[in-house]
Amino acid sequence: MDSALARVPEDLPRLFSLTLDLPEFAQAWQHCDNVSNFLGKAMSGDKKDSFRYENLLSTIINEILECLYHNHGAEGPVELAIGAEGPWLQFSILFKPDSATAEFYESAGDILAGDDVAERFDQSLLDSNRSPPGLAGLLEIAVSYDARFRIRRMAEKPLMKIDVVLDMDALLEE
C-alpha cells in the first residue's frame, strides 16, 4: 500500500449510498452514465466550483461503473457509497462476485498496486484487445487522477469491496 493511501482511514464518513440490483444495472450500458451523472450532481452542489467537481466526479465514477458493468457477479445487490473526510473522497462498491469476477478484481488490484501502472495504461490505449474489459478504465483513473485502490474480499461475507480513494483538493488545484 502506498504511503498516501496508508494515511486514509479504511472507511471514510459516509455521505451518500445507493443500492442497485446488479442484474438490472448490468442490463444496459447507459446505466453507468445515468448513475455517475446523478452521483456527480448530488455530491457537487455545495462545492466552490460545482461544475468542475461534478464533471471530475462523474467521469471517475463512470469509469468505475463501466468496469463493474463488464465484471460483476451474476446476482444480488451492489452497494455504491461515497465517503469523504478532509481532501479525501472515497467511492466504494460492495457486491457478491462469482469466482471469475473475484479473480479479475484481485488481479486488477495487483496491477494497480504495481510500479508500471502508467506503462500498462499506455499499452491498454495502444491495444485494447490485450486488456480485459474495464481494466483500462481503472488504469486511467489511477494514472490521470492519481486514484488509489483498495480491492479485497471481505472476510465475514462472500463479498468483494472496491474502494477508490482520491485527493479532490489536489485534483481541483490542477
pLDDT of the residue at 1: 44
Cell of 143: 494514472
Angle formed at CA 133 by CA 37 and CA 110, multiple of 5 degrees:
100
16-169 under CATH 3.30.519, yes or no: no
Specify the 3-state DSSP secondary structure of 115.
coil
Amino acid letter for position 84: A
How far is 58 from 38, CA to CA, in rounded Å? Answer: 8
Contacts of 168 (CB under 8 A, 6+ apart): 53, 56, 84, 87, 88, 89
Q: What H or E segment, with its residue span, contains residue 64?
A: helix 50-70
Reported pTM: 0.87
**What tens digit of pLDDT does each residue of 88-128 get?**
999 999 999 988 999 999 999 999 999 999 999 998 888 87
**Residue extents of the structural domains in the chain:** 16-169
